[in-house]
Structure 1
Amino acid sequence: MRVLVTGASGFVGGHLVPALVDAGHTVVAMVRDSDRYDPPPGVDVYEGDVLDPGLTLPTVDAAYYLIHSMAADGDFSELDRRAARNFVAAADAAGIDRIVYLGGLGEDDADLSEHLRSRREVERLLGEGAASLTVLRAAIIIGDGSASFAVIRQLVERLPVMVTPSWVRTDCQPIYIDDVIAYLVGVLAEPATAGRTFEIGGPEVLTYQEILVRTASIHVGRRPLIVPVPVLSPGLSARWLGLVTDVPVSVAKPLVDGLKNRVVVTDDSITDLVDVELTPFAEAVRLALDAGADRHRERAPA
């Protein structure tokens, strides 16, 4: 199958492109600047920007939509909306039959964060096109290069004591990046997943406090003291993260806003169609930390 991957240079896209090649697909990687993208062997590169209303797409059988504007300044919801509409119009014009979208877990209620509401709106807009849409919804993805995991890692490295908002006691179902990729590749091979929405998660449900404590025990060999307080707003929390981690406030704000929502799998019907051996949380953290250490060693001057 000839497959287009948008966001090919991003965290998830960077893992998905080689996995699709390994699965026997012909892959077209779509990036905004081809000069800054080094594709795996055998991968075609297509230059395009989903914010361009004149966007055109190559002829492919299916496309992965892995784009969101969380890190952008200004109204990321509006940027997400424009990007999805442009992509749908271009996909319809190119005659693309299937679209696979990676969205976010969370119950559809009035308390859903702005970030997650935007993900839902993108789902709706992608579903309005002629292509059959498959949606996978995930919570925190554990892996080297994940913005969420970067926050977790840096917090436990730098702060033996944390005064945190009350959201640290919210439930979350993190999933390892390789397992996400296995689901993304698997749904393409299973026709029964077309036109459906699925929830994916790792084998354990943990509070954010448990995620921080267990990551700290693995990474730095100590348990941090975590003191939840009710007075830290999302804005203050984002500024706090901006001070103690390398994550920009523009990224931290929507991340923090989404942490108030319980993000766990309530429908595991994906397991009937795509078989993935899920990675335990502790192993996922170790693998992510090892990958980060290897990357830093490769970049270190000889």
Structure 2
Amino acid sequence: MSELTQPTGREDALRAVPRDDGSAPRALVLGATGYIGGRLTPRLLNAGYRVRILARDAVRAASFGWGEECEIFEGSADDEHAVASAMDDVDVVYYLIHSMSAGKGFEESDERAATTVATTAARAGVRRIVYLGGLHPDDVKLSPHLRSRVHVGEIFLESGVPTLVLQAGVVIGSGSASFEMIRHLTDVLPYMPAPKWVRNRIQPIAVRDVLHYLLGAARVDDRVNRAVDIGGPDVLRYGQMMNGYAVEAGLRQRAIAALPVLTPELASHWNECIMKDHAVDALIPRPEGGLTPYRRSVALALGRVDADAVETSWQDAEVTGAPSDPLPSDPDWAGRTVFTDKRSVATRASVAELWRVILGIGGENGWYSSPLLWAVRGLMDRVVGGVGLRRGRRSRTAARVGDAIDFWRVEAVDQTEDGHLLRLRAEMKVPGEAWLELRAVPDGDGARYEQRAVFFPRGLLGRLYWLAVLPFHGLIFSGMAARITAAAETGDHAGSGVLREDAPDPA
């Protein structure tokens, strides 16, 4: 299990309180494979809980890094038999599911599942239910989804089982639906005409603070049965949130014009959501150091703070461990726009022979494709103030993390039985962020060369840039794949004393 960012669950104020007999309490997590649940589960383990999860797909749940440390029951929350089995000998139940992706009838599905869990928890003698609901104003029309979440909270509060409903608004963390919407709107649109509700106020909260409150909720006195609001230290308008994101993302602030239209149906999704009180402070102490400000939350979510690089990096896309600026913290399911170019070529060369060529790429050894195109790209970079190709590389035969190779920086050099990986991060001037991965993988009696270029565009210009260079990728990247494997087969690799004809001029 990866080292976790704050809160880790090991904080004294969040540790599990043993049962009367001294044994560790058991927590049942419903929704453990979701956005919040997937982060909460390993922290519960760290806090000293015995963790059990109920998931529709036990195989998928077991594939998580914490899977082997949990009891996994297969079933759905509306299956009374499955819920009863999972609820046996449980102290606290975390209910982190809702039917956001369901179509017609989702409110009935939410109600059915919540009623099943509430009834079964009461029958099993569960000590506490913790539910993450939605922050909402009183006496206004709510969106159907928010209305359903409020109703689910009411079901638990009326169940007879002490329940703490934590009501959060916009959760700021990579992959959260609200934050990704802010990201996409701000990235793509330099000017945003918007309905009047863009002036509504909202109180966002960092995902790390949500996790703090969820962990602390299990320690609240058993007599507490209520809903409380949770939020960060900043109250902002939607337009301020967008421009706060723009500043942290290195974009120009966006001009936002509030149009004199009401759009009542759409506005019901964007209620003014601020905390009505701070009653939660009497139940759960704030995190050490205080709640996370909005812009700090954005910086963490964007993966620009090294302390959070491990957990929030693009792990699902097999990109981790960057030494400086990590890959943006978005797995594929988060909805971030990602452009890739993938190549794979089988070769009769061994993994070791192929790896020697990969490890010596760049500098005077060349890039195994059109020297003219690489030289032009290097010149373009120097014209706009970039490093170009003039840096070369430290060694012709070796690369280590942190080394500069022309206008790339080495982020990873990994060698395992399953294959070897060299990952380079672009330091040329581009409207976005780019990486290049080169792999040597065992394949029968030979090896397979795998190559992947990854580009995260910044705004509209980044998307146009990718489209502009797309025609050249066929020449550059296909040429690289073919020539690297050919060099591995002929032994014409770095250290042989032979400079390739395609080597660019290092000057």
Once the two structures are superposed, what CA deviation does each residue of 1:238-283 show, in whole Å capped at 9, x if it has no partner?
xxxxxxxxxxxxxxxxxx6321x21111210211231222011111
Structure 2 equivalent of residue 3 of structure 1: 27
Structure 2 equivalent of residue 266 of structure 1: 276
Determine whether 1:45 maps to 2:72: yes
Aligned length: 282
Determine whether 1:20 maps to 2:50: no
Q: What amino acid sits opposite 1:74 in the alignment?
A: K
Deviates more, 1:187-196 or 1:197-206: 187-196
Q: Distance in 1 between matches of 2:171 and 2:122?
A: 30
Alpha-carbon offset, residue 221 of structure 1 = 2.2
Native 8 Å contact 2:141 2:268 kept in 1:
no
Residues 46 and 54 (structure 1), Cα distance of their counterparts in 2 relative to 1, 3 Å cut: closer
Deviates more, 1:193-202 or 1:12-21: 193-202
Q: Distance in 1 between matches of 2:58 and 2:250?
A: 39
Native 8 Å contact 1:192 1:273 kept in 2:
no
Per the alignment, in what secondary structure is the counterpart of residue 126 of structure 1?
helix
Q: Distance in 2 between matches of 1:32 and 1:88?
A: 19
Structure 2 equivalent of residue 89 of structure 1: 119
Q: Distance in 1 between matches of 2:223 and 2:192?
A: 42
Per the alignment, in what secondary structure is the counterpart of residue 107 of structure 2?
helix
Alpha-carbon offset, residue 170 of structure 1 = 0.6
Per the alignment, in what secondary structure is the counterpart of residue 180 of structure 2?
helix
Give 1:199-278 correspondences, 5 Å limit: 199-231=229-261, 233=263, 257-259=268-270, 261-276=271-286, 277-278=290-291
Structure 1 equivalent of residue 57 of structure 2: 33
Is there any run of 5+ residues in structure 1 with no aligned partner, and where?
238-255
Q: Percent identity?
A: 40
Structure 1 equivalent of residue 432 of structure 2: none
Residues 91 and 5 (structure 1), Cα distance of their counterparts in 2 relative to 1, 3 Å cut: same
Asked which structure has the greater CA Rg, the reply is 2
Structure 1 equivalent of residue 101 of structure 2: 71
TM-score by length of 1: 0.86
Determine whether 1:142 maps to 2:142: no
Determine whether 1:190 maps to 2:220: yes
Per the alignment, in what secondary structure is the counterpart of residue 156 of structure 1?
helix
Per the alignment, in what secondary structure is the counterpart of residue 83 of structure 2?
coil
Structure 1 equivalent of residue 181 of structure 2: 151
Per the alignment, in what secondary structure is the counterpart of residue 122 of structure 2?
helix
Native 8 Å contact 1:106 1:262 kept in 2:
yes
Structure 2 equivalent of residue 247 of structure 1: none
Deviates more, 1:207-216 or 1:119-128: 119-128
Q: Identify, as 1 or 2, the structure richer in helix.
A: 1
Q: CA RMSD in A?
A: 2.1
> Residue 294 of structure 2 is aligned with which of 276, 281, 293?
281
Native 8 Å contact 2:206 2:297 kept in 1:
yes
Native 8 Å contact 1:55 1:87 kept in 2:
no
Q: Distance in 2 between matches of 1:142 and 1:225?
A: 22
Q: Distance in 2 between matches of 1:193 and 1:87?
A: 20
Is there any run of 5+ residues in structure 2 with no aligned partner, and where?
1-24, 304-308, 321-330, 332-434, 439-507
Per the alignment, in what secondary structure is the counterpart of residue 111 of structure 1?
coil
Deviates more, 1:191-200 or 1:275-284: 191-200
Give 1:150-189 correspondences, 5 Å limit: 150-189=180-219
Deviates more, 1:95-104 or 1:278-287: 95-104
Per the alignment, in what secondary structure is the counterpart of residue 231 of structure 2?
coil
Structure 1 equivalent of residue 137 of structure 2: 107
Q: Distance in 2 between matches of 1:193 and 1:275?
A: 18
Flag the structure with more relative contact order, 1 or 2, with Cα contacts below 8 A and sequence separation at least 6.
1
Per the alignment, in what secondary structure is the counterpart of residue 189 of structure 1?
coil
Q: What amino acid sits opposite 2:48 in the alignment?
A: G
Q: Distance in 1 between matches of 2:250 and 2:214?
A: 32
Residues 200 and 81 (structure 1), Cα distance of their counterparts in 2 relative to 1, 3 Å cut: same
Q: What amino acid sits opposite 1:22 in the alignment?
A: N
Q: Distance in 2 between matches of 1:284 and 1:98?
A: 30
Structure 1 equivalent of residue 151 of structure 2: 121
Alpha-carbon offset, residue 44 of structure 1 = 1.7
